[in-house]
Amino acid sequence: MTTLDLLNQRHSVPSRLLGEPGPDAAQLDALLRAAVRVPDHGRLMPWRLLLIRGEARARLGTELADLHLRKDPAVAPAVLDKDRARFSSAPLTVAVIARIDEQHPKIPAQEQLLSAGCVAYNLLLGAQALGFGAQWLTGWSAYDRDAAALLGLAGNERVVAYVHIGTAQESAPERVRPELAEVVDEWR
């Protein structure tokens, strides 16, 4: 398979369809090394990775559900169940954390954020190249400061992606892709 073939076959596998096995130690090392080979103006490394696996998956889900209930006592029980199960299917979730220096004199915050987004995308591509399925998700906890504190994030850090990685337990549906005429134009 060529690199272009890999790109043309890229698709997300819903996290609920991911299960064991996940990447072994050597595969995870290779995946993470590839993930951080991204454009990074000024070599700031405006990102870091937080691995969520093993027993920590259920614990994080429970703590997020508890946090959600404290914030909104009227939250539906089904929503809390979804919070609890959010990290339970895939054997590995990589939280991609953007570390943004809003006051950097040379590198705009947007470039730093996009670099972190590229890390998340490289995780998707790398997982697929290794034969795994993956999905990039966020959800309310990616945008909540109390959830950020639960994850140990600093004030200048935020979750840009939870990339769920594992073995597809069934085929993932293919979605309709845009026709190029719908999204490509030429400046004249």
pLDDT number for residue 160: 98
> Residue 54, class by beta-carbon neighbours within 10 Å (0-12 exposed, 13-18 middle, 19+ buried)?
exposed
For 25-72, what is each residue's pLDDT tens digit?
999 999 999 999 999 999 999 999 999 999 999 999 999 999 999 999
Q: What percentage of the chain exceeds 70 in pLDDT?
A: 100
pLDDT number for residue 173: 82
140: pLDDT confidence band, cut at 50, 70 and 90? very high
What is the rounded CA–CA span in Å between residue 174 and residue 154?
Answer: 38
Give the global pTM: 0.96
Domains of the chain as residue ranges with CATH? 19-170 (3.40.109.10)
For 70-105, what is each residue's pLDDT tens digit?
999 999 999 999 999 999 999 999 999 999 999 999
Q: If we measure between CA atoms, which residue out of 36, 46, 175 comes closest to residue 112?
A: 46
| pLDDT averaged over every residue in the chain | 97
Q: Cβ distance 162 to 95 under 8 Å?
A: yes
